[in-house]
Amino acid sequence: MFKWKFGGSKQSEGVQPEHVTAILEEGVEFEGKLSFQGTARIAGKFRGEILASDNLIIGKGACVHANIEVNSIVINGELVGDIIAKEKVEILAPARFKGNIKTPSLYIEEGAVYEGTTKMDAPKQQPLLSNNSTIKPRLEV
Task: Please provide the average confidence, as pLDDT, over all residues in the chain.
Answer: 82
HSE-up of residue 81 (Cα within 13 Å, Cβ side): 20
Residues 26-33 have a mean pLDDT of 88
Q: Where are the domains positioned within the chain? A: 17-119
Residues 32-54 have a mean pLDDT of 94
Question: Is 88 a residue whose pLDDT tops 70?
Answer: yes
Question: Is 107 a residue whose pLDDT tops 60?
Answer: yes
Position 5 scores a pLDDT of: 41
Phi-psi region of 8 (alpha: psi -120 to 50; beta: other; left: phi over 0): left
Distance from the Cα of residue 17 to its chain's centroid? 17
Q: How far apart are CA 83 and CA 120, in angstroms?
A: 12
- Which stretch of 28-32, 33-37, 50-54, 136-140 has the lowest confidence by average pLDDT? 136-140
Question: Is 121 a residue whose pLDDT tops 70?
Answer: yes
Position 1 scores a pLDDT of: 33
Question: Is 116 a residue whose pLDDT tops 90?
Answer: yes
SS3 string, the chain, reads CCCCCCCCCCCCCCCCHHHEEEEECCCCEEEEEECCCCEEEECCEEEEEEECCCEEEECCCCEEEEEEEEEEEEECCEEECCEEEEEEEEECCCCEEECCEECCCEEECCCCEEECCEECCCCCCCCCECCCCCECCCCCC
- Sorted by sequence, the CB contacts under 8 Å of residue 132 that are 6+ apart come out as none
